[in-house]
Structures are given as C-alpha cells and as structure tokens.
Amino acid sequence: MNKYGVIRAIVIESEKNGKRSVIYTNAQDNELGAEKIIELICRRWGEENLIKELLMKHLINYSPGYVTDQLEKQPMVDNPKINELKKAKASRARELHKLKVQLAEQVLQETDKVSLEEIKKKQIQLFADIAKIDNEILFINQEIEKTPEKIRFDQAHGGERLLQLNYEKKRFLDCIKVFAYNMEKKMCELLSNYYDAKKELLPALSMIVGRGGYIKLEMGQLRVQLRRFMNPEIDYAARHICEDLNRMNPVTPDKFRFPIHYEVL
C-alpha cells in the first residue's frame, strides 16, 4: 500500500464455528509476532467496549452543570485577521495570474504584426489592471507584516472571553460512578463462582440487582428479601451471592448501623 508499505494479513479462525477474521498490519515478522498482534488487537477491542459501557451505562461524560468564572488572563491565539489577509492575497494572485496569461496570449498573437509599444497602447486597460492588482498584493503584504501573529482570545472573538470551569461537581459524580463500576466488577467476580456462562455475567448480575422484593426491619435487623427467579441457574447464583454478602456483615450507612441480611424467598 502506498501509504503504509508492505502489509501483513494475520488470519484468525474460530475453533468453535470456523469463522475467520483478518488483522492487517505493517509490522514485520521480526518486529512483532502474530500472537502479540492478536493480543494487542483484542486488548484494544476490550478497551473500546469498556469505554462504550462507561459512556452508555455509567454516563461517565455527564455533568449536572458547571460553575464558571472568567479567566483573568486570556490565552493568546492565532490572529484571524492574518488568515483573512492571506486569503485576500491568494485571491488577488489568482486574478493577476489570469490577467498575465491573457496578456501573454495577446502578445503572442500580435507580436509579428505590431510593435510592443503598440500592444501596450492597445492593451492599456489590461496593463492598468495588472499594475493595480500588483499594488494591492504589495499593500496586503505590508498589512501582514504589521499585523501581530498572536492576539488575546477576547480580541480575536469580538470581546467574548474564555471561562474557567469548576469541576468539583463532576469530580464528585465521577468518583461515585467509578466506585459503582468497580463494585459491579467485583460483584461479577463473585458471581463467576456460581454462574458458568462467563459472557453473560453482566446481564445476570443486572437481573439479580434489579430484582424486586421486600425490605423488613425485624428485631433490629434489616432483611432484604428478593423474589425467587424462574431461571434455576440465576436463582442458584443469587442465593449464593446473598450468602457471600451476609458473610461480609453489611450494615446500613446511617447512624443506626442496622445489620443487613440478604436472602432469596
């Protein structure tokens, strides 16, 4: 390939269904082995799936709002006037080129018949237009030299000033979201001891955590009772998860610190 050079194709075949997929790389055999490339690609897919989960399920990019303060010192940015001047210069240069081409054609056509002086008199308007555009380009060059390359942001954007964001609320929420994600990951590790379908751990955990039930405060103990599951595998896993949680001696986070007991009816 012109852009990447010699390309390797690494073919992966699924042992389960025989389907094949291909990885293309410009890494040579002596740089990276096929196994390492497959490992890196699979790790990348895992990271992309994790990012999608954090965005869609945990809303990691959401913020309830920002408190903004104006920046005391506005940053320096490229002067937009220079770009405008350069565009104007390029436009005038194109016009000048067309006029010179037109003049050259006239000279070639009439140079055998009339003298150069007569051509100048005949094409005086064309010469005047060329001189005018030459002067305009010279003036634009002088303006570019005088114009500073960098100016303050508010000067470049008609007085609009950059704001400084207060991220305290978002930091607080992000801590809660990351904690929730880590708790979910830990719960999946516990669930994997009792549920064999490893690829279905998250859906199975969602079924257990989102299950309706009853909460009762009896004799100073808070009893959390989940309704039983029709799926025997989910029901088995949920009962054992409850036993694991009970062995951790959980309590309510309020000042009363009531012990919590989880069970499946």
> Are 129 and 202 found together in one domain?
no
> Are 152 and 177 found together in one domain?
no
In a domain, 161, yes or no: no
The enclosing H or E element of 225 equals strand 221-226
Query: Tens digits of per-residue pLDDT, 28-60?
Result: 878 888 888 888 887 777 677 777 877 887 787
Q: Which of 133, 156, 179 is the last residue of a domain?
A: 156
> Are 92 and 128 found together in one domain?
yes
Q: Is residue 81 within 8 Å of 115, Cβ to Cβ?
A: no
Q: What is the spatial distance between Cα 96 and Cα 38, in angstroms, rounded to a whole number?
A: 57
Q: Which of 156, 181, 197 is the last residue of a domain?
A: 156
In a domain, 101, yes or no: yes
In a domain, 27, yes or no: yes
Q: Label residue 66 by pLDDT band (50, 70, 90).
A: low
> Are 147 and 190 found together in one domain?
no
> Are 217 and 257 found together in one domain?
yes
Q: Is residue 211 within 8 Å of 229, Cβ to Cβ?
A: yes
Instruction: Tally the domains of the chain.
Output: 3
Please tell me the predicted confidence (pLDDT) of residue 240.
Answer: 93
Of 255, 254, 238, the closest CA to residue 246 belongs to 238
Query: Tens digits of per-residue pLDDT, 150-184?
Result: 888 888 888 888 777 667 777 888 888 888 888 88
> Are 116 and 195 found together in one domain?
no
* Share above pLDDT 70 across residues of the chain, in percent, rounded to a whole number: 91
Does the pTM of the predicted model rise above 0.75?
no
> Are 248 and 204 found together in one domain?
yes
Query: Tens digits of per-residue pLDDT, 105-147?
Result: 777 776 566 566 666 666 778 888 888 888 999 999 999 899 8
In a domain, 163, yes or no: no
In a domain, 69, yes or no: no
> Are 251 and 220 found together in one domain?
yes
In a domain, 162, yes or no: no
> Are 172 and 259 found together in one domain?
yes
Helix (H, G, I), strand (E, B) or coil at 87: helix
> Are 37 and 119 found together in one domain?
no
In a domain, 22, yes or no: yes
Q: What is the spatial distance between Cα 1 and Cα 26, in angstroms, rounded to a whole number?
A: 9
Mean pLDDT of the chain: 84
> Are 174 and 237 found together in one domain?
yes
> Are 151 and 172 found together in one domain?
no
Which structural domain range is residue 199 located in?
168-264
